[in-house]
Every structure is written in structure tokens, then in C-alpha cells.
Structure 1
Amino acid sequence: MTVVRTRFAPSPTGYLHLGGARTALYSWAYARHFGGTFVLRIEDTDLERSTPEAVQAIIEGMNWLGLHHDEGPFYQMQRMDRYREVVGQMLEAGTAYLCYSSPEEVEAMRERMRAAGDKPRYDGTWRPEPGKTLPAVPEGRKPVVRFKNPLDGEVSWDDVVKGTITISNRELDDLVIARPDGTPTYNFCVAVDDWDMQITHVLRGDDHVNNTPRQINILRAIGAPLPLYGHLPMILGADGEKLSKRHGAVSVMDYPAKGYLPEAMLNYLARLGWSHGDDEVFSMEQFCAWFNTDHLTRSAAQFNNEKLAWLNNHYIKQADNARLASLARPLMEAQGAQFDGAPDLGAALGLMKERASTVNELAESAMLFFRTPQPDAALVAQHLTPAVKPALSQFAERLRTVEWSKEAVAPVIKEVLAAHGLKMPQLAMPLRLALTGQLQTPAIDAVIVLFSRETVLARLQNFL
């Protein structure tokens, strides 16, 4: 059985976007499912647009998601000698040739074809054929190297997402595989890399469909085996348009900054183009066990921020409180949180995480435990009534000796309410104001024991 080898091969011209992250996830999971190898390759031959910062952004995004590669990263710019070697072999074998047509001449060819209603393409002026006499080599002009694409027949492959795709070779012209300065071009590099790295399965966005027949023809010309291809539909915004910045964040690394957990993003991306029955929430271990290409969808997926937020809330509720504290603490420090003598941060976050969609929301909501309460005077006057004051004083007295646990404090609250003929809100609201300065908090018994006994007694004394 063939050992599965997949690859993720981004061009470092910007951040790792959501579509790229989904491609990486599917390629990674496919390799994991079959016990294969996941390769990271950086396609950095676009010297004008590729930057070290973009490379770093891609690797950071992969690391945040936990999509760790088994081999690589391989950089195309470090493989120039290998590409030149293959170009030389193709020239020698007659599957490539030197072309001295200038860019202006090529554009004129294409313009004539457009005018005639034909598909614009290179007309084969320098393509060697039996019995053909080539033009004289222009003095001082450096040639490009063109691939000798088959003139007839078709390129056909069974796409694991889209089904059988067939392209006529007459639709493809003789692709430039090396520029005048010798640097190779994209489709040629990809074909050589997939051959050298023994890639068996290529999952990528369907914007690459037009590249695939060119790469297949090159692979055949150099005697390389063909991988299986699968072209994933694009991700659209909620309005059905191509996902862009106007829909919100499109860079993966915008999401940790917004308070999303990687497991939520992975779970959400997995469902953008693939399904396993009605399962909505699953771990990456489950995903890798389930994932194959049979249930990849052919239609474009729509990115839904509300669904992602729902999933993120689920994973926040599942998350270890210490982990949440490590994420929330820097955000709270930036807001002036006072941690000295304050409640345990993890415990506080544990109280608040039920309703938080992001870590940022969670950090914001937990600030009420880490600021000196400054209740609004009007609210104090409204809730600290003459009928409530004696009950509050008695409750404070009882708190001096009660065991400091939610289970012990809850019955004391009920006793005081019964003794003074009050309902829970009449006592809970002034307690909330005294301890946090706010009327909206989790259950009051849980809030009380989150603080130290000394803090609670001091705040009640100040309040009364």
C-alpha cells in the first residue's frame, strides 16, 4: 500500500488566511488518518511579494492551530540548483525548448489571436518540430525556457472533490518554465517538488484547477508519478461573496488576538466543506479518525461568525481554568486589574465562562472581581433599604464564623432571608453592589466565597 504523503504549500506573500488554514487542516488530517507524512513547503519564488515576515506569519498560524508538519519547511528558493538540473534534462530530452520571442512579440501574437476570436496563446514560433526551420537567434537576447506541451489529446484526472475533470491540450500553450535569468516558474517548481517529495495526495483550493493540467503534463514529461488531486471550493462570507476583510478577520492570527481558542477554529474549519453525519462538535483526534475525502463537499462553504462564536463558547466552557487564566491575565492587566489580595483568577474565570464567547469577553466580565467596587449611589439608595440593612448586618456577622464554602454559605443566606421576611433579590442585590459594584454577577453564594473572608467583611462594613 502506498504511504500517504500530503503537503501544504503556501506562498509567503501575506498572512495565513482561513482558506489556507482549512487546506492545511485537511492535508494534515488526511496524513494523520492514514499514518502518513505531512510536508510543509514554502513556495517563495515570487521574489517581489514574498517576505520573511509572511513566512513567519504562516508558521505562527500553523503552530497556533497545532498543525505540526513532519517534514520541512522546505523553501523553493533553496532548491534552485535542482530546478536548473531538471530544466537541463528536459532541454536534453526535447520536452522543453529555448524561446527567444520577446514579451512584446508574445503579446502581439496574443492580440492577433484575440482579434481572430481565438484563445490567446504562444504561437510556437520557437517550438522545434521535425523539418521545421527555426528563426535566427536575436543578438543579445536571453531566452526563456518553454515546456513542450502536447498539441493534441486531453488531460484528465479524477478529482477527489469535484469528480472527473478533463481539459483539452489545445487549451494550454507552451508554458514558460524558466525566465531569462534562469529562475524557474511556479507550475514547474510545484511539479518538481511534488515529484521529489513523493507527494501522493494534493488537497488545495479550487483556484488551482487551471494549474493542475499544466502540472500533470510536466510530471508526465519528467516521468514522475501523479498524485491524486482534490480541489476544495472557496470559503464565502455570509453574503455569498468571496471572503475578504470586509467580512471581518480573514487572517488566522487575528483570531487568538480576538480571544478564540485554536480547538474552536479547527473544529469550525473542519466543518467548512466536510461532514460526518450530524456531528458538529468533535476533537481533532476524532476528526483524524473520521476524515477522508468521501465527505468533502463540492459547493462553497459560508463562514458564519455566530457559529464560530458558539463553538468557541463550548470550548471555553471545557477549557482548564488555569489555561484560561494564562490567556486572560495579560488582557486584564492592560485594563488595570488588581491581582494582589484578589480572588484566584482561574476560579473567577471558571465562574464567568459559561456565557463568554471569547477569552476577551471572559477577561472583561471577570474584571468585576479585580477592581475596587464603586457602586452607583442611586443603586445603593434603591437596594440598601431600611428593611434590608438589619438583614445585611446579621448576615455579615454570621460570615465571621461560617465555614468558607459555597455549600456552607448558601444555608446562611436562606436563614437570614427567613428571619427578616425577605426574598432572595432583596439581599442578593445589595450584596452584589457591596462586593463588586455591579448588579449582574453569577450566583451570590459563589461570588461571596470567591473573595477572602476578610475582603467580604471589609466591603460589607464599608457598604453599611
Structure 2
Amino acid sequence: DWNEGVDRDGDFGPYRQSERYPIYQRFAQQLLEEDKAFRCFCSEEELERERRAQLERNETTRYSGKCRQLSAAEIQSRLRAGTPYTLRLRVRPGTVGFSDLVFGKIEIDTAQISDPVLLRSDQSPTYNFCCAIDDFLMKITHVIRGDGHLSNTHRQILIYEALGAPVPQFAHLSTILGPDGQKLSKRHGATSIEEFKRQGYLPEALVNYLALLGWSPPNEGQEIMSLEEIARQFDLSRVVKSPAIFDKSKLDWMKRSYITKTPSSALAEKARDFFVSAGLLPAGIDGETRSWFERVIDLIKTRIDHLDQLPGEALVIYGFSQDPPEIDAEARRILSTSQGRAVALEFAHRIEEHHFLSVEIYREIVRQVKAATNQKGADLFHPLRAVLTGRGSGPELEKLIPLYEEGSTLNLPCKVMSCRERVRAVLKAMGYT
């Protein structure tokens, strides 16, 4: 959570840089009056010609300082003529450096730095100028950001110095790379929080995984950590310089761990929108439907990596999507044998005698089918699964059967078939009725 910001007012607003332009203009004028900044009247075309000439001479490209020593008369003449200008910081001679909390001491000669632009020709402030002023006024003590900003830091420190502002401590975090060692991009999969949210990644799992990219806890080997544990143990001294590798398989493993240990009631609440979007649940559900849905989630949650996969796994419970129903190859093979057909037909005959199939009645029917067909073990239970689900494998039948029976009585947008209805549909599709 944050102390204050765009959505939470406090002592240091406004928070959008676009709303702080008068503040930046005031400090720009101050630096100009103190001769710590100067007007540069060089046009974009002049600067580009200068840059190309330096490249042709194999020199580092930087501003030549052409307008540094303009006389007051020259400046006034150009101002009266309406010549556009930028405002540049007058970089001091010597060295500038800082001790990064991750990368250590980094120091360079200021001769390597062009006099950075503070205000563009339209008088809008630049990124580095805004950041330095905001850090100063908002009393920022630590700046933690990606290592792509290392090159900005020396310029910002020079701006802090010119403002007479304290320099915060910096910690630059290494870049996250894909498994191929390249910069993380869309070709590596989801790369935005919104995309992970859309796929149903649990926030707790994602935070846990991201915290371990480039940082390790004091307890070696500890990987599953709550946000509270991470906050308590986190120390920048344990952040490494080398780039972290984003391993989606590791993230999915962590996600499965969180899904498994999350109570089904909480998981059902998080997953509900996915089922509503898939047309499997109504937007509003009563207590009976909620209780049934929580047991559905409890049955299938160990079979998925993220929540958007749940509706697909739940299709083993909902009615067949077409008539005749889809029966997978393994179920067809099982039911095509003489033994499998005999078990399925005997089971179908027995359950027709019962309006509601409880687990106790199911167990009794299994004993009767076993005695009537002389089948046992896989030769008994595989045909039972095939004729009830149309699949060769899946969740335990004793957990599925109550969900079929109770679900068939609920008012759902997608019908759940009772056990008798499912068996009839499968046998009809196999041509056994």
C-alpha cells in the first residue's frame, strides 16, 4: 500500500507532473537567476549537424556548450527576436558519483555529460528535471528503479546539487529477461499485470514470484512466502546485480501451490467471473448454488495452473456440449469391449431404479454390477467412469456423482445432467440403446 498519491491525497500533492508545471517553472527561473542554468538557442537542425559531425570523428556525442558563454546583450537580442530556446543545466567540472545499494560506487567525469536540458523549447520540463524536483519536495529518501535508469542518475545528482537538495539513496534493479536471455517481451507470454489478472493468476502467487526475481530470502531454499514475510525479510543488500530470468514454469508451479492451499470458498469467489463469462453460472447465485459451486472448485482446483482454466476443467461436470455427446478415444475403447459394454449396460439398468443416486446407493449398485458381470478392479471401474463422464480419466466418481445429482436440480444457464441422463446419452452415442 502507499502513503499518498493520485488516488490518496496527502501533504505532497499534486501528484501528476502535468499539474506541477508552475512548480518546475519556478525552480527553473531560480537556477537561471543563480547562473546555474543558461538559455540555449541552438536549433534542432544545428544540434543534429553537430551530432553527425561528432559521429564521423568517432567522438562521443554531446552538447558542445556553444551557448554557455553568450553575453547578456546577445541573449537579449535573441529574446527580442523571438528565437526559441531551451534551458540547460550548467554542468560543473570535476566528477559526479553515487553509491548504488545494488551496483556499488559509480563515478564519472562530468566532461562526459552534456549540459542536460531542463526546459524544452516549448518550456515544458524534462523527465530528469521533474524527478529531481519531485524527489526534493516530496522528501524522497530512496529511489528504487530499473537499471535502465543508471545513466540518468548522474544528471539527476547534478540537478539535486544545483537545487541545494539532499541526494536520495539509489538502488537499481537488474532487468528481467526471458528464458532465452533476451529482454522480456510479448513473445515470452504475459508481461503485464492486467494480462496476468485476465488469466486468473492469484495476486499472492504473482507477488511471491516477482519478489524472488533478483532477490533471495535469508532462509536458503524458502520459496513460498506471504507478503508479510517478504516485507519482513526483504533487504536490498540481498538483491543481485545479474539479470533475473522469468521462468513461467516456475511461476505456474508456485501458482498451483497457492491454488491448492487456498480455501475453496475463497477460490470460488475469485473464479466466479470466469464461470459467468463462460455461461456456466448466473451473475447472481443463491446459497445452495454457491455451496455446490465451492465443491466443484474443490474437486478440480488441483488440475489447473491459473483460474481461467477452471471453466474448461469444469466441463466434466456440466452437461455434454452437443448431441450426441463427445466421448474421448479412451472411453470409446473401453466401452467397445464386450466386458466394458456389459458393465455399462448393467450399471444403466440398475440406476434406472433410483430417482436420485447417492454415494451409498452408487456403492451398492457397484457391488451388484460386480456380481452380475464378474468384473472387478479396472475392468469394473473404467467402464463406469466412461459411461458416466464420456472420458477415460478424471476426478473421483464418488465426488463427481453428488455434483451431477445436485447440480441437475439447480437453475443454471448451462444444464448439469443427472447420472441417469449422462448414462443414457453416452449409451445412445455408442449405439447401445
TM-score relative to the length of structure 1? 0.76
Q: How does 1:243-262 map to 2 (within 5 A)?
A: 243-262=184-203
Q: Secondary structure at the match of 1:451?
A: helix
1:126-173, Cα deviation, whole Å (9 max, x unpaired):
2249x99967743220221111111x2211111011111112111111
Larger RCO (alpha carbons 8 Å, 6+ apart)? 1
Question: Which segment drifts farther, 365-374 or 331-340?
Answer: 331-340
Aligned to 1:370: 318
Aligned to 1:278: 221
Aligned to 2:298: 350
Out of 63, 82, 86, the residue aligned to residue 140 of structure 1 is 82
Aligned to 1:297: 240
Aligned-partner residue type, residue 126 of structure 1: C
- Distance in 2 (alpha carbons) for counterparts of 1:163 and 1:39: 30
Aligned-partner residue type, residue 346 of structure 2: P
Aligned to 1:219: 160
Q: CA separation of 1:413/1:204 partners in 2, compared to 1, >3 Å: closer, same or farther? A: farther
Q: CA separation of 1:94/1:72 partners in 2, compared to 1, >3 Å: closer, same or farther? A: closer
Q: CA separation of 1:157/1:417 partners in 2, compared to 1, >3 Å: closer, same or farther? A: farther
- Distance in 1 (alpha carbons) for counterparts of 2:9 and 2:363: 55
- Distance in 2 (alpha carbons) for counterparts of 1:313 and 1:335: 22
Which consecutive residues of structure 2, in runs of 5 or more, have no partner in the other structure?
409-417, 428-432
Does the CA contact (< 8 Å) of 1:273 and 1:297 recur in 2? yes
Aligned-partner residue type, residue 314 of structure 2: A
Q: Secondary structure at the match of 2:240?
A: coil
Does the CA contact (< 8 Å) of 2:389 and 2:422 recur in 1? no
Matched, 1:88 2:29: yes
How far apart are residue 322 of structure 1 and its match? 3.4
Aligned to 2:61: 120
Aligned to 2:388: 435
Q: Secondary structure at the match of 1:442?
A: coil
Structure 1 stretches of 4+ moved >6 Å: 68-73, 338-343, 399-402
Aligned-partner residue type, residue 245 of structure 1: K
Q: Secondary structure at the match of 1:209?
A: helix
Q: CA separation of 1:39/1:123 partners in 2, compared to 1, >3 Å: closer, same or farther? A: farther
Aligned to 2:419: 456
Does the CA contact (< 8 Å) of 2:54 and 2:61 recur in 1? yes
Q: Secondary structure at the match of 2:107?
A: strand
Does the CA contact (< 8 Å) of 1:375 and 1:434 recur in 2? no
Q: CA separation of 1:353/1:169 partners in 2, compared to 1, >3 Å: closer, same or farther? A: same
How far apart are residue 190 of structure 1 and its match? 0.5
Q: How does 1:44-443 map to 2 (within 5 A)?
A: 74-128=15-69, 137-138=77-78, 139-150=81-92, 152-276=93-217, 277-337=220-280, 344-372=292-320, 374=325, 376=327, 378=332, 380-382=335-337, 384-386=340-342, 389-390=345-346, 393-394=349-350, 404=358, 408=360, 412=364, 415-416=367-368, 419-420=371-372, 421-443=374-396
How far apart are residue 280 of structure 1 and its match? 1.4
Q: Secondary structure at the match of 2:250?
A: helix
Q: CA separation of 1:272/1:392 partners in 2, compared to 1, >3 Å: closer, same or farther? A: same
- Distance in 1 (alpha carbons) for counterparts of 2:160 and 2:233: 31
How far apart are residue 279 of structure 1 and its match? 1.4
How far apart are residue 182 of structure 1 and its match? 1.5
Aligned-partner residue type, residue 147 of structure 1: L
Aligned to 1:5: none
Q: Which has the larger radius of gyration?
A: 2
Q: Secondary structure at the match of 1:98?
A: strand
- Distance in 1 (alpha carbons) for counterparts of 2:304 and 2:105: 46
Does the CA contact (< 8 Å) of 2:320 and 2:326 recur in 1? no
1:280-329, Cα deviation, whole Å (9 max, x unpaired):
11111111111110110100011111111111111221223234334444
How far apart are residue 124 of structure 1 and its match? 1.8
Q: CA separation of 1:414/1:217 partners in 2, compared to 1, >3 Å: closer, same or farther? A: same
How far apart are residue 427 of structure 1 and its match? 3.4
Q: Secondary structure at the match of 2:342?
A: coil
Aligned-partner residue type, residue 261 of structure 2: Q
